Amino acid sequence: MVRLKRYGRRWSVKIAYSTFKRAFREFCIAKTMKNITKELMRKAFIYNMLINLNNQ
């Protein structure tokens, strides 16, 4: 029995992260951790909406 490993999946995560950074740059405007979290959550929400628009 061949045991399947999940090697080779890292590239998809790296591409998604790179695309996210290109779209929103690699910095946050917020200064406090609470607001940084809010900003990143909003950016991720918008990013996911854009991805879903392309898949329809």
Question: Per the domain annotation, does 5 fall within a domain?
Answer: no
pTM of the model: 0.70
State how many domains the chain has: 1
Q: What is the mean pLDDT of residues 28-39?
A: 96
Per-residue confidence at 9, pLDDT binned at 50, 70, 90? confident
pLDDT at 40 over 60: yes
pLDDT of 27: 87
Query: 42: domain range?
Result: 26-56
DSSP per-residue letters across 7-54: TT-HHHHHHHHHHHHHHH-S--S--SHHHHHHHHHHHHHHHHHHHHHH
pLDDT of 55: 74
Q: What is the mean pLDDT of residues 7-22?
A: 84
Question: Per the domain annotation, does 33 fall within a domain?
Answer: yes
pLDDT at 5 over 90: no
Question: Per the domain annotation, does 30 fall within a domain?
Answer: yes
CB 26 within 8 A of CB 34: no
Question: Per the domain annotation, does 14 fall within a domain?
Answer: no
